Amino acid sequence: MKPPAGIRTALARGWRKRCPHCGRGPLYTGWLKAIDRCSYCGLVFARDHGATWFFIIMGDRAILLPLIGLIYFGVLRSHPILAVLLFFLVAAAFVWTTPNRMGACTALHYLSRAAFGDEDDPIPRHHAGDPGGADSRHGVDSRA
Ligand SMILES: [Zn+2]
């Protein structure tokens, strides 16, 4: 099954902390308190707790990978001031982008759910003429 929202669109929406399906409902209240379902289209963001763990682990490691490479190749041992600056830069980026990365991980999970098309997985339908995604709560699958 083709994802209702394109891959780039869904990832961009997730990065902006919006529902990957419609792009309108928020993923979080506050800084990082997850919401169970989209307030606009009704998409359930994670059916089971821990369902997004694979994507979250990948999202966490992706930002640390360049730093691990620099440590592995000894670049930071020969440049201690660069090592300290880089540590704080990566730590700040890691914390600052956490909601964005988690949103992108939610979008990846959504895309995998849409791609595999589970009959029991309630992904709202799209309405014709709605370029941004689902039109309203009326698009929610009645089995949800
Ligand atoms: Zn939505």
Q: Is residue 143 part of a domain?
A: no
Query: CA 60 to CA 102: how far, in whole Å?
Result: 9
Q: How far, in Å, from the CA of 70 to the mean position of ligand 1?
A: 40
Q: Is residue 138 part of a domain?
A: no
Q: How far, in Å, from the CA of 58 to the mean position of ligand 1?
A: 24
Q: How far, in Å, from the CA of 133 to the mean position of ligand 1?
A: 8
Q: Is residue 56 part of a domain?
A: yes
* Host H or E run for residue 121: none
| Region 15-43 average pLDDT | 93
For residue 40, the one-letter residue type is Y
Q: What is the pTM of this model?
A: 0.77
46 falls in which pLDDT band (50, 70, 90)?
Answer: confident
Q: How far, in Å, from the CA of 93 to the mean position of ligand 1?
A: 27
Helix (H, G, I), strand (E, B) or coil at 142: coil
pLDDT score for 139: 44
pLDDT of 48 higher than 80: no
Domain that holds residue 111: 7-126
Q: How far, in Å, from the CA of 69 to the mean position of ligand 1?
A: 38
In percent, how much of the chain has pLDDT > 70?
Answer: 85
pLDDT score for 1: 52
Q: Is residue 137 part of a domain?
A: no
CB 54 within 8 Å of CB 122:
no
Q: Is residue 142 part of a domain?
A: no
Q: Is residue 135 part of a domain?
A: no
Q: How far, in Å, from the CA of 19 to the mean position of ligand 1?
A: 5
Which of the given ranges, 19-28, 40-49, 114-123, 129-138, has the highest pLDDT on average?
19-28
Q: Is residue 32 part of a domain?
A: yes
Mean pLDDT of the chain: 81
Q: Is residue 37 part of a domain?
A: yes
Per the structure, the count of domains in the chain is: 1
